A = this chain, B = another copy of it.
Amino acid sequence: MESFIMSLVDVASRPGMISFATGLPDNSLFDVDGVAKAVAEVLREAGGAALQYDSATGFVPLRMRIADRCRKELGFSVGYENVILTNGSQECFDLLARMFLEPGDRMVVENPGYLGAIQSFSAYGPEIIGADVGPEGVDTGQLEAAVASGSKLFYSIPNHQNPSGGSYSDPVRTRVADIIRGSGCLMIEDDAYGELGFNGRAGRTMKSMAPEDVVLTGSFSKTISPGMRIGWMVVPEWMREQAGRSLEAASLQSGSFDQRIVDRFLADNDYDVYLQGLRKAYAAKKDFFLDAMEDELPDSVEWNDPQGGMFVWLKTPPGTDAMRVFDAALEDGLVVMPGRPFHVRGGENTLRLNYATPSEEQILSGMKILGKACRDALRYF
C-alpha cells in the first residue's frame, strides 16, 4: 500500500485514462507567464547568485513574506527566523517525525487522514492511533484520550481535509486547542488547502490558538507550483535550532532558485487577487463536478459539498466494498482513489474524488463511467 498513491499517478497517466484519483492541482490555472517573467527578472537582477547555495533554512525575503502573511491572514505573529523552507511540506513531516518520534512512540492521526503524511511518519515506527473525523472535524473525545495516553504528535488538516474535504468547526478548534495546549503532544497543522477556501479561510488557525504547541505547515504546491517544491513550517522558538539542524542533515537546504522565483512572483503579483482567481475557478469546478455527480450517480451513494480544497468524499452504502466500484471504473477507463488506505480503521465504503484536476469534458465522461461502476458494483443495494 505504501506507494499506492504514486502507482495510481502512473496508471492515471496512461493515454485515454480519466483520473479523479490524484491530488494534482489544475495545470491550466498555473500562471505560466507570471512565473516566466519572475524567472527572467531573478536571473537578470541576481545573476549567478540566484543559482548559488543559500542558507539551510531558506531564502530570507520569501520567509519574511510568509511571516508577514501569518500576521495578516493566519492570526499570529512570528519572525522570519521561525519560518523554515523545506522541499515541499512532505519534508516537514519527515523532519518532525525525525525530531519527535522514537520507534514505538504513540502518535495521533485523523481517521481518515492524509496518506502521504502517514507514510512519512510510519517510516519512524510509531504506534499510530486514529481519531475519527466527522462533519465537524476530529472527534475530540478520541483525541483527548490519545493525547492522555502519551502521544507525541498529532497530525491534522483542519481546513478542507485531504481526503474527506471537511473542515473543523469553531467549537472543535477551541476544544482541540485546549487539549493540545501544554499537553506535551505537538500538533502539526497542515494548512496545504487553507488558502483555497471558496469563502475565505474555514476558521482560525490552530497555531494562533496554541502557538507553543503547534507547528503550522504550508506550501505553494496547491497554488503556484508543486514541481517547485516549496513547503514551509512555522515552528515555536523552542524547537527552531533543532529544526534547522535536522533540515541541514537531511538535505542541506531546499531549492533556493525556486524560492527566489516565487519571492519575485509574489512581489510582482497581488497574491490575494491571484488566490481569489484560483478559489473562483475551483469553486466553479466543484459545482460542475457535483452537478455531474447528481446527474450520473445512483441514489445509493452519498457525498459532501466541500467548501474548499480539491476533494469530494463519496460513500457507498454501509457494508459495501468501494473497491468494487474502483475496479469496475478502472476497467472502463476511470481511476478513482479508494478511501480505505487513508484509514487506520474502517473506510471500506469510501472513495476520494479529485474535482480539481480533470477538465469539464473529462468530468462528464468520467462521471458516466463512475455512475455505471456504482450501479454495477452495488446492484444489490
Contact = CB atoms under 8 A, between A and B. Distances in A.
Interface stretch (A85-93, A137-145, A201-209): A85-93
Nearest to A89: B252
Contacts of A27: 47-49, 51-52
Q: Secondary structure at chain A's binding surface: helix, strand, loop or mixed?
A: helix
A319 interface: no
B87 A251 contact: yes
Contacts of A40: 36, 39-40
A30 interface: yes
A228 B257 contact: yes
Contact of A48 (B32, B54, B257): B32
B248 A3 contact: yes
Nearest to A9: B55
Given A48-B32, A248-B119, A53 B91 contact: no
Copies in the complex: 2
A111 interface: no
Contacts of A244: 3
Contact of A228 (B48, B248, B255): B255
Given A123-B98, A250-B120, A51 B257 contact: no
A260 B28 CA distance: 18
Interface in A1-59: 2-3, 6, 9-10, 22, 24-25, 27-30, 32, 35-36, 39-40, 43-44, 47-56
Contacts of A54: 227
Given A40-B40, A48-B30, A55-B9, A3 B245 contact: yes
A333 interface: no
30 contacts: A2-B245, A2-B248, A3-B248, A6-B56, A9-B53, A22-B53, A24-B52, A32-B47, A32-B51, A35-B51, A36-B39, A36-B40, A39-B39, A51-B227, A52-B227, A87-B91, A87-B251, A88-B253, A90-B250, A91-B250, A94-B249, A94-B250, A94-B251, A116-B252, A123-B246, A229-B251, A229-B252, A229-B255, A250-B250, A255-B258
Interface of A: 2-3, 6, 9-10, 22, 24-25, 27-30, 32, 35-36, 39-40, 43-44, 47-56, 87-88, 90-91, 94, 98, 116, 119-120, 122-123, 221, 224-229, 244-246, 248-258, 260
